[in-house]
Amino acid sequence: MVKLTPQTLKRLAGLEQDIGYVFKDKDLAITALTHSSYGDGRSKNANNERLEFLGDRVLGLLTADKLFAFDNGDEGSMARRLNALVRKETCARVARLVNLGVYLLISPSEDRQGGRDKTSILGDACEAVLAALYLDGGLGSAQEFYDSHWRAEIENVMAKSTKDPKTDLQEKASAQGYGLPEYAVLERSGPDHRPLFVIEVDIAGLGKAKGTGKSKKDAERYAALHLLENWPKQT
């Protein structure tokens, strides 16, 4: 466990101010901020991976509850919206809103490589903080954080078509005389129980786009979605 020094407590105080919550269990909160690289991987300090595991499930519950209350679509459309709201990129955007990267405990080498703004690190840390809020203050505290910082994400997702983006991309490409989209895995990272895929979609004569996800299927969907979002720029 990371020692509660004046420096770490100052770091935590900054986060508490930005998220509007004061942790009772300071050790728990510091653990949520501790990346596995801290201590250059040799330290026995607890890191935020276990909390990230729990936070992923808390996030899924809060999102499912929100969609069940406000989304009148079928199971398929709700599942696609849920996937969009719990993905790493979404969590990383929320993390940037609360300046989470500034407060992370990471190794100097990871810091030099831009770790404080890496989507994967920020996404995991955001889920870890959500878990810490849940453990420290109950579901209500996690709910308040979620309601405050996912509101714009929910509004954005609800405003979009619920059609599967891969289907939408293929239909649009075909209608405008392009070939079929081709998907390729560019990168697979993370442990077996928590993989992260980077996949690129390519449509000859149109362009390429990348997507990340916890499964190949999700990464393909996000790649297709990104290419659809940039469609006017490609033609």
Catalytic residue (choose from 56, 124, 136, 153): 56
SS3 (DSSP) at 202: strand
* 165-234 has CATH 3.40.605.10 classification: no
Tell me whether residue 216 is exposed, middle or buried, using C-beta atoms within 10 angstroms of its C-beta: 0 to 12, 13 to 18, 19 or more. middle
CATH number corresponding to 6-159: 1.10.1520.10
Hey, where are the domains in the chain? 6-159, 165-234
- For residue 63, the model assigns a pLDDT of 95
Q: Which of 127, 136, 153, 218 is catalytic?
A: 127
Name which residue leads in pLDDT, 80 or 51. 51
Residue 7 vs residues 45, 65, 105, 183: alpha-carbon distances, Å: 16, 38, 11, 46
Is 183's pLDDT higher than 50?
yes
Per residue in 186-212, pLDDT (tens digit) is 999 888 888 889 999 999 888 899 988
Is 52 catalytic? The answer is no
How far is it, in rounded angstroms, from Cα 130 to Cα 135?
9
Q: Is 75 a catalytic residue?
A: no
Confirm whether pTM is higher than 0.85: no
Residue 32: is it exposed, middle or buried by C-beta count within 10 angstroms (0-12/13-18/19+)? buried
Task: Please report which helix (H) or strand (E) contains residue 203, including its range.
Answer: strand 196-203
The pLDDT, as a whole number, for residue 234 is 42
Region 168-193: mean pLDDT is 89
Mean pLDDT of the chain: 88
Does residue 42 have a pLDDT over 70?
no
